[in-house]
Amino acid sequence: MKALWNSLKIAFAMFSRIPTPRADWSKENMKYMFCFFPLIGAVIGVLEYLLVLLAGRFSFAPGFLGALMLLVPVLVTGGIHIDGLLDTSDAMSSWQERERRLEILKDSHAGAFAIIACSSYFIAFYGACVQLCTSRRATGVFCLVFVLARCLSGFGVLTLPKASAKGTVAEFSRNAEEKPVRIAVVVIAVLSVIGMIYIQPVMGIVTAVCAALVFLFYRHMALKYFGGTSGDLSGFFLCTCETAAALVLAVCTAIL
């Protein structure tokens, strides 16, 4: 139980800005960290849904609500995954060899393509939120996307080759108790999909398929262009998956 509690604290300290009691970052304490990664998505989802309820109670304008929904995951995570989106966009847009792409991932400077990617991400996410929040069911499905995306991200970390043996993701993977953690993230992912389908069958299925396709694209991209995954690539996947799902749900609300 102590290892589980410490893994929970490390997961929240690493992937969120939620105040968390300190835990030593030892191999023992990091064993089950990725079991709790989806829990951060659950926190974001709950906050998003409460925000929509609050907006209905006080008649927020759609644009204002969309902006608040955009800010929730940024405030909860501190934008850690957006950093990966920017670095990966710069690396992919460089059209350099694999070694050079890996160097660009580590570069703390933001290039022109990173700025373009960031702007596009925020605009797409904002516009999708404005549209999908018109449907309570679409909002419910969207809230579970934050859980599903983190399950898929954690699964990728555990199963894909690593772009660098010295990176943070490689260390997390080495320290993880792989079999039980892998089972845990798969079970949580399945439960998330079941919940999405229960809320609205068509939206749930379409959104789950969208998330799976984004994961396959991320897997192909990571293996072909980087030789494996990394922390930045995982962040890229997470942002892309959440935004793609939001856009799909926004379209669903318009045609269903």
**What one-character-per-residue DSSP string does 148-163 give?**
HHHHHHHHHHHHSPBS
Provide the domain count of the chain. Answer: 1
Kindly report, residue by residue over 18-47, the tens digit of the pLDDT.
Answer: 888 887 777 776 778 888 999 999 999 999
Distance separating the N- and C-terminal Cα atoms of the chain: 46
Query: Is 6 within the bounds of a domain?
Result: no
Query: Is 239 within the bounds of a domain?
Result: yes
Give the pLDDT of residue 219: 96
Give the pLDDT of residue 242: 97
Domain range for residue 65? 39-49+61-255
Query: Is 172 within the bounds of a domain?
Result: yes
| Residues of the chain with confidence (pLDDT) below 50 | none
How much is the pTM? 0.93
Query: Is 34 within the bounds of a domain?
Result: no
Exposed, middle or buried: residue 99 (CB in 10 Å: 0-12, 13-18, 19+)?
A: exposed
Give the pLDDT of residue 244: 97
Query: Is 43 within the bounds of a domain?
Result: yes
Beta strands in 37-168 (DSSP E): none
Kindly report, residue by residue over 227-255, the tens digit of the pLDDT.
Answer: 888 888 999 999 999 999 999 999 999 89
Residues 6+ apart with CB under 8 A from 180: 32, 35
Query: Is 188 within the bounds of a domain?
Result: yes
Query: Is 7 within the bounds of a domain?
Result: no
Distance CA 99, CA 63 (A): 43
Query: Is 100 within the bounds of a domain?
Result: yes
